[in-house]
């Protein structure tokens, strides 16, 4: 029996993600929560014939936590795409003011109701919302560092697609899966593409263009949608890739490989860990390759043999990430005096 819950299920990401989850045979119960229209979405999905139970929950008023608690009860995986998306001219950090409170409130109820669930945060700015989630769970004394993930998979999808485009389709994007990855964070220069030997086949100008396109790929969609939001369909696909992989780990004895933005505090965390001092002494969060089993993260591994260019990108990412992380931590605890 596996219960998966989507918080923000009626939104641009929430709906297609819920559809994909509806079609996953490992999930026996799908729980959809949103402040609007989640019952409609659940009813619609319930007409798709599968053996899964699907239920929608919405609060009766803005103080009602009972429906959220009911939606979360017994969850094995919770995915959070709740929150506002960007409009042209905005940075992801401009979403902080609204989304920080949304994520804190939802994660608080996760901590009270299903603290042992895998928690996957999509809401932006991920570089800050993940620290908010972690600090809120710590406050409740239920933080399990092996099970909290910021979803950066869309950056990985973009890298696979854009690199395949750059080499004129001579390698299919699917063959680049896990051969090339992004590490760091999820905004602009905090995103670091690691493309290994593929860089040798590219002109310098092609390589620079590729890095820029991966780092600022979100802007392309925001501009093209022209006020109607940001990436939703590609994001739902990305989140589904991550969650369906987690479901494999959860429902079998297999260890799976993924990349996600996680809290890097080894002495507290109890997972094995291979991250250079230059990274772990500088930032408490970083997106990195992970090995995950049913109990959560087993191993965090910094990619080996970075090129000097990739090292340089990591240094820039670290310098930019610090402020984003601190902003998230301070949102929960207030600034250190």
Binding site for ligand NAD (CB under 6 A): 7-8, 10-14, 33-36, 81-86, 95, 99, 102, 105-106, 122-124, 126, 151, 154, 186, 229-232, 235
Place of tokens 């402020």: 323
Euclidean distance between CA atoms 288 and 70, whole angstroms: 33
- Closest distance between ligand NAD and the C-beta of residue 281, in Å? 26
- Closest distance between ligand NAD and the C-beta of residue 199, in Å? 24
- Which of ligand LMR, ligand NAD, none binds 199 (CB below 5-8 Å, type-dependent)? none
Beta bridge pairs of residue 24:
none
Give the residue, chosen from 102, 132, 221, 259, that forms a contact with ligand LMR under the rule CB under 6 A: 221
Query: Does 241 engage in binding with ligand LMR (CB under 6 A)?
Result: no
Site size with ligand LMR, rule: CB under 6 A:
10
The count of other CB atoms within 10 Å of the CB of residue 257 is 14
Taking the C-alpha atoms of 300, 164, 208 and 90 in order, what is their torsion angle to the nearest 10 degrees? -80
- Is 212 labeled as catalytic in the residue annotation? no
- Which of ligand LMR, ligand NAD, none binds 222 (CB below 5-8 Å, type-dependent)? ligand LMR
**47, 186, 212, 333: which one is catalytic?**
186
Euclidean distance between CA atoms 249 and 253, whole angstroms: 7
For ligand LMR, which stretch binds (CB under 6 A), given 75-83, 214-222, 246-254, 285-293? 214-222
- Closest distance between ligand LMR and the C-beta of residue 240, in Å? 15
List residues forming the annotated binding site for substrate: 86, 92, 124, 158
For ligand LMR, which stretch binds (CB under 6 A), given 68-76, 84-92, 241-249, 258-266? 84-92
List residues forming the annotated binding site for NAD(+): 8-14, 34, 99, 122-124, 235
Could you give the residue numbers annotated as active site?
186
Applying CB under 6 A, the residues found at the interface with ligand LMR are: 85-86, 92, 124, 154, 218, 221-222, 230-231
């Amino acid at each position: 029996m596996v219960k998966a819950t989507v918080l923000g299920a009626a939104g641009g990401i929430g709906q297609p993600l819920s559809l994909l989850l509806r079609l996953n045979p490992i999930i026996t119960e799908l729980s959809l929560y949103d402040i609007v229209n989640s019952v409609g979405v659940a009813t619609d999905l319930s007409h798709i014939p599968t053996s899964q139970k699907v239920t929608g929950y919405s609060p009766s008023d803005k103080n009602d936590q009972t429906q959220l608690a009911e939606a979360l009860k017994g969850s094995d995986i919770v995915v959070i795409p709740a929150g506002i998306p960007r409009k042209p001219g905005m940075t992801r950090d401009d979403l902080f003011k609204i989304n920080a409170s949304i994520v804190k409130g939802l994660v608080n109820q996760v901590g009270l109701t299903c603290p042992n669930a895998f928690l996957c945060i999509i809401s932006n700015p991920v570089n800050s919302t993940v620290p908010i989630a972690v600090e809120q769970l710590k406050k409740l004394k239920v933080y399990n560092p092996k099970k909290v993930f910021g979803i950066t998979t869309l950056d990985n999808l973009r890298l696979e697609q854009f690199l395949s485009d750059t080499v004129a389709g001579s390698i299919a994007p699917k063959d680049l899966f896990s051969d090339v990855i992004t590490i760091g964070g999820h905004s602009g220069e905090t995103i670091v593409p690691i493309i290994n030997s593929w860089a040798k086949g590219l002109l310098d100008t092609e390589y620079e263009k590729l890095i820029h396109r991966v780092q600022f790929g979100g802007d392309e969609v925001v501009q093209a949608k022209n006020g109607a939001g940001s990436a939703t369909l590609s994001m739902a696909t990305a989140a589904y890739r991550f969650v369906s992989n987690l479901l494999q780990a959860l429902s079998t004895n297999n260890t799976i490989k993924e990349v996600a933005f996680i809290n890097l505090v080894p002495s507290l965390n109890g997972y094995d860990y291979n991250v250079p001092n230059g990274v772990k002494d500088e930032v408490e969060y970083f997106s990195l390759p992970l090995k995950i089993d049913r109990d959560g993260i087993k191993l965090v591994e910094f990619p080996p043999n970075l090129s000097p260019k990739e090292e340089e990108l990591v240094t820039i990412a670290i310098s930019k990430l610090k402020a984003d992380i601190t902003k998230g931590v301070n949102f929960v605890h207030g600034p250190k005096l």
